[in-house]
Amino acid sequence: MRQALAGKAYVEFYTQNLAHEVKAPLSAIRAAAELLGEDMPAADRAKFLATLRNESERVRLVVDRMLRLAALESRMELEEKREAVLVELLADVVETHESETKRKGLRLVLEKGETVSVSGDNFQLHQTRTNLVQNAVSFSREGKELRRSWMMDEAKVVVQVADEGAGIPEYAIPRLFERFYSLRRPETGRKGTGLGLSFVREIVTLHGGEVRVVNRASGGVCAKVELPLRSPA
């Protein structure tokens, strides 16, 4: 009975939050679609078409991330375990975000430590680092530095993503890993899906690790992911 009630609460939580998250973009899509049925200048038409594309993409992202997060939460163990060279994973993520960092004038620094391999699902590990770098890019100030580094001991490797942004408000720190909780991006004033860090935590937990996000004393934020050098049984 307890499991059944927990499952019901889980479904209700996701349903309510999904409805909340897609309500605003769907309203914007409907309004733009109605206005496009009227005669208007080409510039206004282009603006409303952009709204349709942007808001429909937001709905797609929310649904896609929710499905992936739900799939992760239902797993008890990794389905695929392979050895992945950490520096190759990090370098690939850096290359993926190169155009965006250049657009914002950010210096993306990869501090190469000792060569180390971790065991797990390569795609999921790549997604973890992509989400953390994307967050750091979104909240970094133009012209600042974004640094990726790692260190290791006998049992684990610690990967860090540090930015020089404004930092996290104290009230938000306890809620960072809540599903659908998001802060406004300083550049656009818009919120994300609020699922990125939840996705990261589920992947890291599945790999037997831990993730933390803290404010840096010198300013900005540092996300730390600890992974065991050997995958969990």
* Residues 121 and 219 reside in one and the same domain: yes
| Single residue among 56, 73, 90 that ends a domain in this structure | 73
- What does the alpha-carbon distance between residue 110 and residue 161 come to, in Å, rounded to a whole number? 9
CB 231, CB 208: distance < 8 Å: yes
Residue 48 maps to a domain: yes
Residue 208 maps to a domain: yes
Which amino acid appears at position 79 of this protein?
E
* Residues 132 and 199 reside in one and the same domain: yes
Which pairing describes strands 107-110 and 145-152: parallel, antiparallel, or unpaired? parallel
pLDDT tens per residue, range 81-109: 777 666 666 667 666 667 677 777 777 77
* Residues 94 and 158 reside in one and the same domain: yes
Residue 160: which of 228, 113, 224 has the closest Cα?
Answer: 224
* Residues 165 and 196 reside in one and the same domain: yes
* Residues 119 and 67 reside in one and the same domain: no
* The pLDDT of residue 73: 65
- Name the average pLDDT for the chain: 77
Residue 46 maps to a domain: yes
pLDDT band at 131 (very low <50, low <70, confident <90, very high): confident
Domain enclosing residue 119, as ranges: 82-228
CB 126, CB 86: distance < 8 Å: no
> Cβ atoms within 10 A of the Cβ of 230, count?
11
- Please state the rounded mean pLDDT for residues 39-47: 86
Higher pLDDT, 221 or 129: 221
* The pLDDT of residue 212: 92
* Residues 125 and 151 reside in one and the same domain: yes
Any idea what the CATH number is for the domain that residue 184 is in?
Answer: 3.30.565.10
Residue 233 maps to a domain: no
Indicate whether 215 pLDDT > 50. Answer: yes
Tokens of 115: 């060569």
pLDDT band at 233 (very low <50, low <70, confident <90, very high): very low
- Please state the rounded mean pLDDT for residues 202-222: 88
* Residues 110 and 201 reside in one and the same domain: yes
C-alpha separations of 27 from 19, 31, 142, 224 in Å? 12, 6, 32, 38
- Please state the rounded mean pLDDT for residues 114-138: 77
Residue 5, helix vs strand vs coil: helix
* Residues 50 and 68 reside in one and the same domain: yes
> Cβ atoms within 10 A of the Cβ of 17, count?
18
Query: Total structural domains in the chain?
Result: 2
* Residues 41 and 89 reside in one and the same domain: no
* Residues 64 and 92 reside in one and the same domain: no
Indicate whether 78 pLDDT > 80. Answer: no
> Cβ atoms within 10 A of the Cβ of 45, count?
15
> Cβ atoms within 10 A of the Cβ of 135, count?
24
Indicate whether 206 pLDDT > 60. Answer: yes
Residue with tokens 């008890």: 76
Any idea what the CATH number is for the domain that residue 39 is in?
Answer: 1.10.287
Q: Which residues contact 68 (CB under 8 A, 6 or more apart)?
A: 199
| Single residue among 73, 90, 118 that ends a domain in this structure | 73
Which of 60-64, 94-98, 129-133, 173-177 is the least confident region? 94-98
Residue 181, helix vs strand vs coil: coil
- What does the alpha-carbon distance between residue 108 and residue 118 come to, in Å, rounded to a whole number? 23
Higher pLDDT, 39 or 2: 39
- What does the alpha-carbon distance between residue 229 and residue 140 come to, in Å, rounded to a whole number? 30
CB 177, CB 198: distance < 8 Å: yes
* The pLDDT of residue 96: 67
Rg (CA), the chain: 20
